[in-house]
Amino acid sequence: MSVEQLWVSIGMCGNLLFFSRWVVQWMASERARRSVIPVSFWYLSIAGSVVLLGYALYRRDPVFIVSQLPNSVIYFRNLHLLKRERQADDAA
């Protein structure tokens, strides 16, 4: 396998991770019969974004890099907000 093929495989894995978060969200919503965003959605979002950012850096694609840079920060913030919400619920 060439280096190029390896990086294309890495990019495809990033896309698969990123896509799988929607499958997880859809299944959770169907089970709950309402719109639900499970915590795993955010972890898959982070994983997909980091892998895709690595791929974008390898490709030296400035548009792709700039589009991926802020994502993980936003996803980590959502996880932080969820943690704070759970802690407030536990305290109540």
The pTM score is: 0.84
Nearest 5°: the CA angle 51, 22, 82 is 85
- State pLDDT tens for residues 12-62: 998 899 899 999 999 999 999 999 999 999 999 999 999 999 999 999 999
DSSP 8-state code for residue 12: H
Overall residue count recorded for the chain in this entry: 92
Asked if 30 contacts 56 with a C-beta cutoff of 8 angstroms, the reply is no
CA–CA distance, 44 with 22 (Å, rounded to integer): 9
Dist. CA 34–CA 53, nearest whole Å: 32
**Overall domain count for the chain:** 1
